Structure 1
């Protein structure tokens, strides 16, 4: 019968090399696992310490004193004043006693344009509407708006510069006419507002005692 190949003995130099490499691997693995554990324990300790530092007894006490103290809340409520708008002395309930002839009518930009389109004289049309003498008033903001609109509205600008129109000076910043008119009629109840602007009408209706033409 043919001879079997000889198996390598477990006591040779090759076996010694294998044993040493296996031992090195096990020691390296053990070191890595120890390092990993140490790192994990360190990180856990650091996180726990950080959380403990944030939520300390002092912070809890401070939170209770500042936020959860009911007495402090009552004192804060007492300090806050009520913002109640002052009612004008010209109003008798919803009737405005400050309005009377000669009527002062604040004219808006689109109202002048509407009168030009329908070929109406502003002052005559106002007198036909109210059966009394009327003084058209124009603010600096409306004049600035007409000047900004350019050549297309030069006729409206010429009408606005009519000497029969009373010029109202503006002391505020900016040239937005709607805000200017609403602020003026809120302070002084002696005006009628002539406008075709829906948004401005909606805002004026919230102010009591101011008629819209």
Structure 2
């Protein structure tokens, strides 16, 4: 008779949790405390306040006003038969230079045949064309980024709560003092 082969038993000892194991409550509390200390020590990057801002008044906004215009603003003005340049001048009581970015032009071109009149208006030589250096053609992000980085622009928009110059009910309005509405 032959001898039966025995497989060797390995790791037959009872498994034990190490005292440094993260699953223990004490170690979890220590870990959280370390994370909180790291957050407290972290350097916070706060955007500097522009030197042109004097309390709530922006001293960089002086005539001739530069108004950034988006696709919907142009289209709404056309639907309500508003002339853009003279309407803005009546609204702000000063010379206005409408500014159109590359992203807005790309958006108008992508919208195709329906927006061909808006595209023709945006190509007006009185409008200032601003070059974009970022990738993509999403105009809203581009306009917000440009207004926050350069404090010398008004933003023409349809929503009065987020902009300074907006379109509402067949007129251009302004929110310079939040309560003032200029009709024309």
TM-score (norm: length of structure 2): 0.73
| Partner Cα distance (2:62, 2:110) in 1 | 34
Q: Does 1:159 align with 2:121?
A: yes
Taking the aligned partners of 2:165 and 2:78, their CA distance within structure 1 comes to 19
Q: How many residues align?
A: 156
Q: Give the Cα–Cα distance (whole angstroms) in 1 for the partners of residues 36 and 101 of structure 2.
A: 47
**What residue in structure 1 maps to residue 14 of structure 2?**
49
Q: 1:137-166 CA distances to partner (integer Å, 9 max, x unpaired)?
A: 001111011001000110000111111110
Aligned to 1:109: 71
Match of 2:143 in 1: 181
- Which structure has more strand as a fraction of its residues? 2
Gaps of 5+ in 1: 1-41, 206-210
Q: Which has the higher helix share?
A: 1
Q: Residue 49 and residue 184 in structure 1: after superposition, are their counterparts in 2 closer, same or farther (change >3 A)?
A: same
Q: Distance in 2 between matches of 1:152 and 1:91?
A: 41
Larger Rg: 1
Q: CA deviation at 1:85?
A: 2.5
In 2, the alpha carbon distance for the partners of 1:84 and 1:148 equals: 37
Matched with 1:17 is none
Structure 1 position 56, deviation (Å): 2.0
Match of 1:87 among 34, 39, 49: 49
Residue matched to 2:154? 192
CA distance in 2, matches of 1:74, 1:120: 56
**Runs of 4+ residues over 3 Å off in structure 1:** 57-60, 62-67, 69-75
Is the alpha carbon distance of 1:119 and 1:79 closer, same or farther for their aligned partners in structure 2, counting shifts above 3 Å?
A: same
Over the aligned positions, Cα root-mean-square deviation in angstroms equals 2.9
Q: Is the contact between residue 21 and residue 27 of structure 2 (CA under 8 Å) also seen in structure 1? A: no
Work out the CA distance in 2 between the residues paired with 1:130 and 1:74.
50
Tell me if 1:212 matches 2:169: no
Q: Which of 71, 87, 94 is the equivalent residue of 1:132?
A: 94
Rounded to whole Å, the distance in 2 between the matches of 1:185 and 1:165 is 17
Q: 1:73 Cα shift?
A: 5.3
